[in-house]
Structure 1
Amino acid sequence: MIKGIGESLSQLRQSQTVTSHYVAPISGAPRSAPKARPIPKHRLEAYGRWAKVTQEQHNISASQVVLQSLNSAKSILGQLNKQLQTCLFSKSSVVGDALHKAEECRRQLIEIKPHYQGKRLLDHHLNLISASQPAALHFFKFRRVDLTSPKNRDERITLFTEKQTLHLLLPANKNRLELQDIIEPVLASIGMSIDRLSTNDTVFTAPHETWMRLSGGILMVGEGQRLPAGEPRNIQLEEKFSWQDPREWNFSEVEKLKMTLAKVLKVEKKVTVQIDDIKASHRLLLVKAKQLTASSQPKIELQHLHKFMQPHPFAYQVTSLMAQGNTNREQVSALLI
């Protein structure tokens, strides 16, 4: 396969060399450039198999990277489970040390961020990322600013991002849901949306890329009701953590420790299921890669070549002699009579 690729590249260089040294005739109609020879069918099929095998090898490598990270997460979750059990059911003299170790486990879980060729493989909830399962969204609020609080006067609010300037006109005497309907289409242009499941507060959502770009805050200026007038101020974003996010887990009180332990057990179970799924898909990828490497060869072309490679291919020798002598079948028959 590699030899075939080398031959194609050699042919390409030769054709380029011939073209570069070609001198057009002074008179007469201009000659068209020589057409490139088509790549043989069997070589195209080989290139296709090679590309498919390479892609499957990348898939296997990515699955190995994420499998290693999930195994590490499972091990850390097991250690965290043990430390929380110690905090709940052991003497107070060992609780302090157990809590310290639990915090260390939390830190290690947060730092698990596997990538392969620049692509994230796990989100911040330790969920696998795939085409069918995108990464979990980030949920957040604006710190000390509620854009959807009803007011008795109209207010124009301006938001400044790196590439865009957005304008919000918030009418007076509108309720929270009506203001959300006004705000959401404008913020959609920078990748933000509103979590409609949050009933009491207005919670915004954004994909990971948008969150990383905006997490440092957004410059805003208002007209003195929801935001002060004058110079724009950097409004910080406060992330709202899901129960699956280790940053949400609370180790401070006994009752909260019990809830945290339940969350840890659920996440550990989820990670175990994902490990089993990865191993199963890994086996399928290996089988598929083997099938691709052992796929059917171009049999017709090989059989045709085999005929010419026989020790005494009489029919093909006669055909070759006829071609060399510039004779046809009728002329040969006349000579033999």
Structure 2
Amino acid sequence: MSSIHLSLFCLFVVIYPVHLLDPSCKGNYNTNPIIRDEPTFVSSVPNGKRFVVGTDYTKINIVHVYGGTPYDMGYALGSLMSKELNILIPEYFAYLDKTIEDELKKLPPFVAKWIAELGIPGALDLNYDITRIYTPPWFDEEIRGIAAGSGVSYQNIRRLNLIPELIKAACTVLGAWGESTLTSALLHVRSLDWDDQAPLANYAIVTIYHPNASYEGYTDHFHEFYKQENYKSHVFANIGYLGMIGSIGGYSEASIGLGEKVWITKEQDITTRFGNPWTYVLRDVLQFSHSIDSALTMFTNAHRTCSIHLGLGSYERNVSAMNDENIGFRGIEYSANELNVYNWEDMFDT
């Protein structure tokens, strides 16, 4: 659990000082203490174990799932979190129905048109139809497992997972090292700045995946989606919200950390909706990359879609702020037609 404690520490520790250093920032200070408690065991099923830390709004579920197959891991997750999923899914979609009119003006015009004409479920189904041929099959297998384990419909779990692809996500990424940290090592933060009034905000979860590296779906299809013959599969922590199996932030046993924030662009210039949803690409990078270079190769070869900013870090490399070779943090502008990578010397003007 040590690597998971590290990722949770990095997730929370730098948020408070950031607000203090910039008094012009809007919003409330994050005064939540760093969670240092040992996880408490809750329950287990074949292929899965559930723990919890924190209470009330700061409660975080920690779920370990073990392959088998992606379906097996999904079934374990769905079984362990069945009660919560059956509460969350209808509550969240009802909340979206009530609040969507205010959000339409913030979305790309064609996405707003989809929602206006088809409704939220129809727009998400359309997004699935145009992305599924670009999406590795292990994601659909896991979603089917979650549905079977929880009793929530496959369609609604699938729709939930495409919400970030439809609307992107307005969050915060930070990499700090050298004189900016007490030990000079890298602290990598991905702040989950989503609507704190949404039901989803009450269901924070860290899912630790222990995949079966020899699963035939990986061996048969990895090259098809990332143009590489060889891959390494790693245990990784997916940090986000219940039911969403793609990554908005995470950390792997290979010391790869990854987080996303929105990149406001003109959609027609550099993006497409015909590709592998960005949350799925990020999760595959967490699972299959073993270095900054291998992660960047996967990003280069992926069928990219939306425009987003990424923070990509490698913890074990960060021992000095004086030599960029030892600073494993990159800022990335990611979209269908552009992939711009910045180090600490050239990212300031972006």
TM-score by length of 2: 0.20
Which one has the largest radius of gyration?
1
Q: Structure 1-normalised TM-score?
A: 0.21
Higher helix share: 1
Larger RCO of the pair (alpha carbons < 8 Å, separation 6+) = 1
